[in-house]
């Protein structure tokens, strides 16, 4: 399949031994963390009711939607401290909005390896709120609409508007992705930009590898070619960069996957102090659905988790904005294929180099 810029989609395969393949996953239930610790996280993390009790459930395993938000605000809509914003190198608190720039469907089968499927953020799809838009926009549009509705009804408490707006956003994002992929969503995990930063900070940085040297003032990226260790601020620049890369956003998607692989490797050998730091992070940066039982999940997750990226058909410009054209039937067929036959493991356990 051909994407914008002539890029032929190739699977980016990562095989890790960890109990999560998302940022939160690697933090919350990584290999070696005691069940008591997982239970402690379960009682302290923010919960969402965006997935109703009577929502359709997967019959071929478990589907978890992982959402990474662009907002520079905390879980309550409050600005981050100035010193944190400076270290993040991601601009001011009012930047970013509430787009779900990272979307992954983690499918855990009854047996065999799990697979995490990245959904390109600019895919043009029907949105749960009506009309078409980029798939990443479902969250933010629904959040704004709900807050406007509540204000018109007389609500004025800012935190309550933020809470209700985010719940509407989560619900819309789940419904949009579920309809597009034709897959039930059993659970959701949400993490914002500060969560990416805190994970890397708690781990003392992460190891990555780049095929070529790259520099991008918009994200703060300035890296040489080859293997290297990134501190928290650099790691955030690494996962945010899309300008100056051969295939733009699609290369950024593979960087997110490479970051997760690096996090998984670091968590696997982390000591108790590091684990506790990550637990504290999870309680301030992560949202899980109300039915998500982390203890049960950590016991049942397969040892092998692999990554792939769902296909696009090319690019288009609508209203001055670049979007990904997609063939819904081909995307759904790819999801089914990956759920039944995940990509093979890489040839070795080294750090894969990315653009």
Over the chain (355 residues), the average pLDDT of each successive run of 10 is 37 30 42 51 80 93 91 83 76 70 90 88 94 95 96 95 96 98 95 82 88 89 93 88 82 82 71 70 83 75 80 88 94 94 67 82
Distance CA 197, CA 291 (A): 27
Separation of first and last alpha carbons in the chain: 19
**For the purposes of burial, counting CB atoms within 10 Å of the CB of 40, is it exposed (0-12), middle (13-18) or buried (19 or more)?**
middle
25 Cβ neighbours under 8 A, 6+ residues apart: 18, 19, 66, 106, 189
Query: What is the pLDDT, as a whole number, of residue 42?
Result: 60
CATH code for residues 4-340:
3.40.630.190
Query: What is the pLDDT, as a whole number, of residue 262?
Result: 79
Query: What is the pLDDT, as a whole number, of residue 294?
Result: 72
| β-strand pairing of 321-325 with 221-223 | unpaired
Query: What is the pLDDT, as a whole number, of residue 172?
Result: 98
Query: What is the pLDDT, as a whole number, of residue 348?
Result: 57
- Which is nearest to 90 in space by CA: 11, 10, 200? 200
Phi, psi (rounded to 5 degrees) for 333: -65, -35
Bridge partner residues of 237 (DSSP): none
Query: What is the pLDDT, as a whole number, of residue 268?
Result: 65
């Amino acid at each position: 399949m051909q994407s914008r810029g002539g890029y032929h989609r190739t699977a980016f395969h990562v095989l890790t031994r960890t109990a999560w393949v998302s940022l939160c996953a690697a933090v919350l239930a990584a290999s070696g963390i005691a069940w008591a610790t997982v239970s402690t996280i379960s009682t302290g993390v923010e919960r969402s009711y965006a997935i109703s009790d009577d929502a359709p459930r997967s019959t071929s395993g478990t589907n978890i939607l992982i959402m990474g938000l662009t907002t520079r605000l905390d879980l309550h809509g409050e600005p981050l401290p100035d010193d944190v914003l400076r270290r993040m190198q991601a601009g001011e608190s009012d930047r970013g909005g509430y787009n779900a720039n990272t979307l992954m469907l983690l499918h855990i089968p009854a047996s065999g390896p799990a697979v995490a499927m990245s959904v390109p953020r600019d895919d043009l799809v029907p949105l749960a709120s009506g009309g078409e838009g980029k798939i990443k926009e479902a969250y933010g549009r629904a959040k704004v609409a709900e807050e406007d509705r509540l204000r018109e009804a007389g609500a004025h408490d800012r935190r309550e508007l933020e809470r209700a707006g985010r719940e509407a956003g989560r619900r819309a994002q789940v419904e949009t992705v579920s309809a597009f992929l034709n897959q039930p969503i059993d659970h959701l995990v949400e993490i914002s930009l500060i969560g990416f930063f805190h994970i890397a900070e708690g781990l003392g940085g992460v190891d990555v590898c780049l095929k070529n040297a790259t520099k991008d003032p918009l994200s703060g990226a300035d890296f040489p070619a080859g293997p290297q260790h990134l501190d928290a601020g650099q790691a955030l620049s690494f996962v945010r960069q899309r300008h100056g890369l051969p295939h733009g956003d699609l290369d950024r998607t593979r960087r997110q996957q490479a970051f997760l692989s690096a996090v998984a490797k670091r968590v696997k050998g982390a000591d108790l102090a590091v684990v506790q730091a990550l637990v504290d992070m999870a309680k301030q940066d992560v949202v899980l659905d109300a039915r998500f039982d982390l203890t049960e999940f950590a016991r049942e997750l397969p040892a092998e988790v692999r990554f792939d990226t769902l296909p696009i058909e090319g690019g288009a410009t609508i209203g001055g904005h670049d979007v990904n054209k997609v063939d819904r039937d081909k995307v759904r067929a790819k999801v089914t294929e990956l759920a039944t036959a995940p990509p093979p493991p890489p040839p070795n356990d080294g750090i894969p180099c990315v653009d």
